[in-house]
Amino acid sequence: MTAIQAATYNVEFGFDAYQSMNDFIEKNDYSKLFILVDENTFEHCYPRFITKLEVDIPVEVIEIDPGEEFKNIDTCIGVWNAITELGGDRKSLLLTLGGGVITDLGGFVASCFKRGIDFINIPTTLLAMVDASVGGKTGVDLGVLKNQIGVFANPQLVIIDRKYLKTLNERDFTSGLAEVIKYALTYDKSLLEAVHQLDDSNIEEVIYKSINIKNEVVLEDPKEGHLRKVLNYGHTIGHAIESFYLESEDKESLTHGEAIAIGMICEAYLSHQVLGMPLDTVELIKTDILTIFKKITLVEKDFDAILSLLKHDKKNKKGQTNFVLLNNLESFKIDCQATTKNIKESLHFYNS
């Protein structure tokens, strides 16, 4: 696979990626390398990664607890303390080896430490490969509110090695498919078919096409002035549902992808109500998504709590919730509004 050229960095694939990483590190004369992992990636991904790292620079490993509940400022403080105690300076390099929590949090840690050190993303989940590690969004959650604190900061390099996907359980792998489906619905419907036929022979192509779409969008609108909002299709309702399940002690948390899958179905229905997308297409999207993501039942008495979380969405302006909706497959409209009634009906539609 040829490298994808992002704004100031490359996304590289397979064996060549490690070669580029080693050359890049040697060339830049870093003082020390810090590898940020969580308990899972330390056990399952680090052993592979360390055989690929061929540099003559001191390396330290910093491990954090795994999971979205640790994607917060306290964890960042722990990592900043660890880097400091281990002798980090402005010429240190942070390598983030993990899923979206590690790449988002690690990028944020790097971009604030001593006003910014370099970092390289090595995503190990499908979700991080096709979304989180590319495009320069870094940050952490604020309580249950997703990604409320953060900065735009680009990595120096992103390395895509699909071998890490073998370390994922099915639920975590499937979570990443929600983002691929998002690219399919908004830009390239051929990805839908590819997702249903996913195996070793086409996974790298699916990842490549997904990153390519994201990269084109981000190149045009790096700071989400307008077009980049399309990457939030399904995420307005999806994030509210994800936060709601995270804060509900009596409910098992959903993966990011599971929540976004629900959000994409609801927002397809909103697309019908607000933009007149044909109901057949909405049904097709729902059926397609529900062959991949297990249906859960949203409880009607929770609807108000879910709706109240919508007011924290980062696309909101002047107290108004904005959605990206579909005119049809591969055709979208940014900054659409829907009424509370519409939104509740879309939640009922998901349940139906």
List Cβ<8 Å contacts ≥24 apart for 186-194. Answer: 186/213, 186/230, 186/233, 186/324, 186/326, 186/330, 186/332, 187/213, 187/330, 188/213, 188/330, 189/329, 189/330, 192/288
Q: Kindly state the smallest distance separating residue 217's Cβ from ligand GLY, in Å.
A: 8
Contact by Cβ (8 Å): 1, 59: no
Q: Kindly state the smallest distance separating residue 208's Cβ from ligand GLY, in Å.
A: 17
In the chain, the amino acid numbered 203 is I
SS3 for 34? Answer: strand
| 175 vs 103: CA distance, rounded Å | 16
Task: For the beta carbon of residue 216, count every other beta carbon within 10 angstroms.
Answer: 12
Total of residues contacting ligand GLY (CB under 6 A): 5
Q: Which stretch binds ligand GLY (CB under 6 A): 91-99, 131-139, 152-160, 336-344?
A: 131-139
Nearer to ligand GLY, 88 or 238 (CB): 238
137 interacts with ligand GLY by CB under 6 A: yes
SS3 for 2? Answer: coil
71 interacts with ligand GLY by CB under 6 A: no
Q: Kindly state the smallest distance separating residue 289's Cβ from ligand GLY, in Å.
A: 18
161 interacts with ligand GLY by CB under 6 A: no
Nearer to ligand GLY, 260 or 268 (CB): 260
Nearer to ligand GLY, 213 or 231 (CB): 231
Report the Cα–Cα distance between both ends of the chain, in Å, rounded: 42
Nearer to ligand GLY, 38 or 131 (CB): 131
Nearer to ligand GLY, 208 or 349 (CB): 208
Q: Kindly state the smallest distance separating residue 73's Cβ from ligand GLY, in Å.
A: 20
Which of residues 12, 68, 131, 345 is near ligand GLY by CB under 6 A?
Answer: 131
Among 213, 259, 218, 211, smallest CA distance to 236 is for 259
Provide the mask over 200-239, with x wherever binding to ligand GLY is found by CB under 6 A and - wherever it is not: ----------------------------x--x--------
Nearer to ligand GLY, 71 or 228 (CB): 228
Which of residues 135, 139, 150, 238 is near ligand GLY by CB under 6 A?
Answer: 135
Q: Which stretch binds ligand GLY (CB under 6 A): 129-137, 158-166, 270-278, 286-294?
A: 129-137
User: What is the greatest pairwise CA distance in the chain?
Assistant: 61
Helix-helix angle 256-275:340-351, to 10 degrees:
120
Q: Kindly state the smallest distance separating residue 135's Cβ from ligand GLY, in Å.
A: 4
SS3 for 263? Answer: helix
The residue number with the shortest CB distance to ligand GLY is 231
Interstrand relation of 4-5 and 10-13 (parallel, antiparallel or unpaired): antiparallel
Residue 323: strand pairing partners: 336
Q: Which stretch binds ligand GLY (CB under 6 A): 16-24, 107-115, 130-138, 321-329?
A: 130-138
Q: Kindly state the smallest distance separating residue 11's Cβ from ligand GLY, in Å.
A: 14
Contact by Cβ (8 Å): 35, 9: no
Nearer to ligand GLY, 287 or 316 (CB): 316
Structure tokens at 256: 């990011």
Name the residues that contact ligand GLY, by CB under 6 A. Answer: 131, 135, 137, 228, 231
